[in-house]
Structure formats: C-alpha cells, structure tokens
Amino acid sequence: MRLETRKLLDKAFSGLGLISIAVMAIALLLILTPIVWRGSKAFIFKGTIEHRRVMLELFDRGNPEKFNQESADAAAARAPVYQMMEAFEAEMKAMDRKKRKEYKAPFREVENALEELLGPMPGQRTPVLLRQRYGQTRWDRALVKLHETLYSEEWDYSNADAMGVLVEKPRVDFFTGTELEPLFQYLEDYLPEMMQPKTTFYYQFITDKSKDSHIFGGIWPEVLGTIYLTIGAMIFAIPMGVIAAIYLCEYAKEGRIISFIRICISTLAGVPSIVFGLFGLAFFLNTIQVSDSKSVLAGSLTLSLLILPTIIRSSEEAILAVPRAYKEASLGLGASRWHTVLTVILPAAMPGILTGIVISMGRAAGETAPIIFTAAVSVGAPLKIWETLSQPTPALPWNIYNLCTEHEAVDEIRHVQYGMVFTLVAIVLLLNLAAILMRARISKKLRG
C-alpha cells in the first residue's frame, strides 16, 4: 500500500473515532439534560403557600408563626374572590328560574376550578381525600389551573370532514354584566398575593413519605425499597458469585462439565430479566414460599440470580488476570491452596471483582422486571429492616413506570415522576463513581 493511502486511511479512521465519540457525547447530553433539568424541579421550585401548608400540617415542618402571617395575607387577598362569588350566588337567587338554570352549570365549573386552585372554600367541611384539602402547591401548576379557571375549553366540530378544533373561550364573556365579572380580572392580577410563591428547596423530597399516593410529599419508601433490594441482592449474590468464581478458576479441573457450567453461566447472563421475574414468582413465592406475600426478600433473591452471572464472570476474569508467579511463589513457600487464595489471589484480584460487583449493583438498583411480581407495590410504607423478610415495598424503577402509566392523576404529578427518575439515575451514577474510586484506591494500595 502506498504511504499516502495509508496516511489517508489512518486519518479517516481517527476522524470516524472522533465522530462516534461526539455522537455518543451528544446522545448522553440529550438523555441526561432533561432528566437533570426536569428532575431538579422536584427539588427546587416555586412553592406556594399551599406547599408550606402541606409541610406544616402533614410533616410538621416550618415556622408556624411565619406561616400564619403569610396565610393571613393570602386569605386577605382571597377574600374578595369569595365575596364576589357570594354576591353572584345572591344575584343568581334573585334571577328567574330559566336564567338561573343557565348560569348554574358554568358557575359550578368556576367553583370547581377555583377549589382546585386555592383549596377548599372557607367554611366548607374538610374533605376526606387529602388531595382535596389543599390548593396547588407549585406555582407552575397554579398557573395551569388559573388558565383553566379563566378559559373554558370547547371543541368546534363545525367542519364535518375533519377532527374538531380546540377553542378556548374566556369564561368572563359568559358572566359579563353579573357580579362575577370582575372575578376573572382579579384572579389574573392578584394570583401571586393569593398563592405567595417563593422559591423552595425541597430537599426532603427524598426523605419524606408520600401522602395520598404521591400527590404530596416525597419518595422515601421508594428510595429505601431500592436500597433494601440492592443490598439484599448483594448479600446473596456476592458470596455465591465470588466463591463460584474461585472454584471455577482455582479448584475445578478443566473438562467437559466445567465448560458446560461456563456455557450455562453465559446463557444465564443473556436471559431477559422478565424471565427471572416470572421464575422468582413461580419458585420463591409460589413453590418454596419464602414469604406469605411479595417481599423484599423474594425480590432480592430474584435480583441476585439476575446479577450472579455478571459477578461470576467478572470475578473469574479478575482472578485469571492475577500473575501466575504470585500463586506459584505462595505455594512454593509452603502455603496451602486455601491460604494462597485467601491471602494472595483474592487481594490481587480485588479491584476487578469490586468493579464487577458495583456495576451489577447499579443494574440491580435499576431493574424493573424481576421485582414486578416478587417485591414491588405501588403504595406502601417505608419498611423497617426486619420487615423486609415478609413485606413488599415500593421501589424506584417500578414506581416510575407505575406513575407514568397507571396513576389516576398522572398529569398533576409529573414532577414526582421526573424526581424519581433523577434520583434513580443519581443513585446508579453514584454507585458507578464509587466503583471507579474504590478501584483506583485499591490498585494504588496494591502497587504500594
């Protein structure tokens, strides 16, 4: 090959490499930016007076005196709203029957929208459902609800050949000339006074229990559940995996059976996770019944099976990478095989083994399919450590899925969903970071 051609090929190759790295970096940015950006909104947002009311009443947090002051200010700003509504109700009573009927339903709609925005009206009985006891806790949601109060949505179906078109009608037009007319302008002008928005750093989002299935509060049961499941999986998988790897490398005689076992392990690593989930249900729960219901224990066992192959393979690689001379020197000094493994081979292989372990920890934390049938529930309290043996738990991966597909009020609580995604990704990244640091430290120590 001519020299120029070679140079050209060389350049083309490095160019290709650069491009693929750039594409990867962009992809990573595209994935991570929205996660971080939207996820951070679960923690840092403009909280309204209702948020502080929730904090004070449900979580016993905040300064009651300051809150009462703010609450009085908000109530003062809200008072004209309720006065206008009362005045309109009085006006309605004076109307003739037909006209009253005409106004009744639209007025009811305004009332409902206002209740969603501001919470129950003064003098109203406390609703049983928590979600109805408070107004909008977040300023962004409050603006959405304000819009819903100001405009009614109607669909224009006049073109019979096409789908309808959304028409937003200002509600004020309907109520022009009545006592309710000034209400809409007032709402638009005085919403900040009524809601008292303040930039809030709600770091307790991670450590608070959820209230009324995630409509208020945080995600502690999910975080704790994820931690339990991951640690549980490690407790089962690490000893089994490392011992199996030692056996395969140091004790077993190469032969058909061993290579068959290796093939089995590789196959196990490729089995889809939902199969592990179903196996866990069929075996751990229905056959040997490790617990009466789904439980963290059953979930951990299932997850440990899932990550076992990774741990065995990475430990095996690490053990095989230990120079033969180490082992021979140890054996030559008269150390027993067991002693050699324990004091020479394992410490030397430790960085590799640890990397494998931490990477599979990240996998265990993020897996959904194996825990659907064995451990995960959509609502539950944070468990105490001994309760993990018999009780199921919410867990981040499953609850993210549950919130976005099954929750009845999903559009209201998108921020919780993003907050969960952010937290899960952060946990996995932190675990991986820990792996890198640990590996670096141990390698340094070994090199002396």
Partner 1 sequence: MKKQILTATAALALAGAAHASETIVIDGSTTVGPIAKAFAEYYMAANPEVNITVSESGSGNGAKAMVNGTCDVAIMSRPMKDSEFKAAADHGAQPVAHVVALDGLPILVHPSNPVQDLTVEQIRKIFLGEISNWSQVGGPNKEIVTISRDTNSGTYETFAGLVMNKEKIGEKCEYVGSNGAIRQRVQTTPAAIGYAGLGFVDKTVKALKVNGIYPSPETVQTGEYPIARPLFMYTNGYPKLGSSLYQFMTIHLTEDGQEMVEEIGFVPVTAY
Identify which range of 78-86, 229-237, 373-381, 416-424 contacts partner 1 by CB under 8 A: 373-381
Q: Is the CB of residue 345 less than 8 Å from the CB of residue 359?
A: no
Cα–Cα distances in angstroms (integers) from residue 428 to residues 209, 284, 388, in the given order: 22, 27, 22
Among 376, 424, 428, 442, binds partner 1 (CB under 8 A): 376
Give the x/- contact pattern for partner 1 in 99-128, rule: CB under 8 A. ----------------------------xx
Tell me the closest approach of the beta carbon of residue 56 to partner 1, in angstroms: 16
Q: Is 294 in the site for partner 1 (CB under 8 A)?
A: yes
Q: Is 380 in the site for partner 1 (CB under 8 A)?
A: yes
Identify which range of 193-201, 210-218, 251-259, 336-344 contacts partner 1 by CB under 8 A: 210-218
- The 3-state DSSP class for residue 68 equals helix
Nearer Cβ to partner 1 (125/324): 125
Tell me the closest approach of the beta carbon of residue 50 to partner 1, in angstroms: 18
* Long-range contacts of the stretch 434-442 (C-beta < 8 A, 24+): 434/358, 435/354, 435/355, 435/357, 435/358, 435/359, 438/351, 438/354, 438/358, 439/351, 439/354, 439/355, 442/350, 442/351, 442/354
Cα(145)–Cα(143) distance, integer angstroms:
5
Site for partner 1 in 137-176 (CB under 8 A): 153, 155, 157, 160-166
Nearer Cβ to partner 1 (244/298): 298
Nearer Cβ to partner 1 (55/428): 55
Q: Is 432 in the site for partner 1 (CB under 8 A)?
A: no
For tokens 């608070």, the residue is 208
Query: What separation, in Å, do the N-terminal and C-terminal C-alpha atoms of the chain show?
Result: 47
Q: Is 218 in the site for partner 1 (CB under 8 A)?
A: no
Tell me the closest approach of the beta carbon of residue 398 to partner 1, in angstroms: 9
Tokens (6 digits) for 419: 């907050």
Nearer Cβ to partner 1 (161/189): 161
Give the x/- contact pattern for partner 1 in 249-288, rule: CB under 8 A. ------------------------------------xx--
* Long-range contacts of the stretch 178-183 (C-beta < 8 A, 24+): 178/88, 178/91, 178/103, 179/84, 179/87, 179/88, 179/90, 179/91, 180/84, 180/85, 180/87, 180/88, 180/107, 180/110, 182/84, 183/81, 183/84, 183/85, 183/88, 183/110
Nearer Cβ to partner 1 (113/244): 113
Cα(240)–Cα(266) distance, integer angstroms:
16
The DSSP bridge pattern shows strands 198-201 and 44-47 to be antiparallel
Nearer Cβ to partner 1 (240/381): 381
H or E, element range at 152: strand 151-156
Identify which range of 13-21, 83-91, 320-328, 406-414 contacts partner 1 by CB under 8 A: 406-414
Nearer Cβ to partner 1 (95/404): 404
Tell me the closest approach of the beta carbon of residue 404 to partner 1, in angstroms: 8
- Residue 151, number of CB atoms within 10 A of its CB: 16
Among 71, 178, 204, 378, binds partner 1 (CB under 8 A): 378
Phi, psi of 178 (to 5 degrees): -105, 180
Site for partner 1 in 236-255 (CB under 8 A): none
Cα(376)–Cα(370) distance, integer angstroms:
9
Among 25, 27, 333, 385, binds partner 1 (CB under 8 A): 385
Tell me the closest approach of the beta carbon of residue 410 to partner 1, in angstroms: 6
Q: Is the CB of residue 205 less than 8 Å from the CB of residue 54?
A: no
Interacting residues toward partner 1 by CB under 8 A: 127-130, 132, 153, 155, 157, 160-166, 211-213, 285-286, 292-294, 372-373, 376-381, 383-387, 390-394, 402, 405-408, 410-411
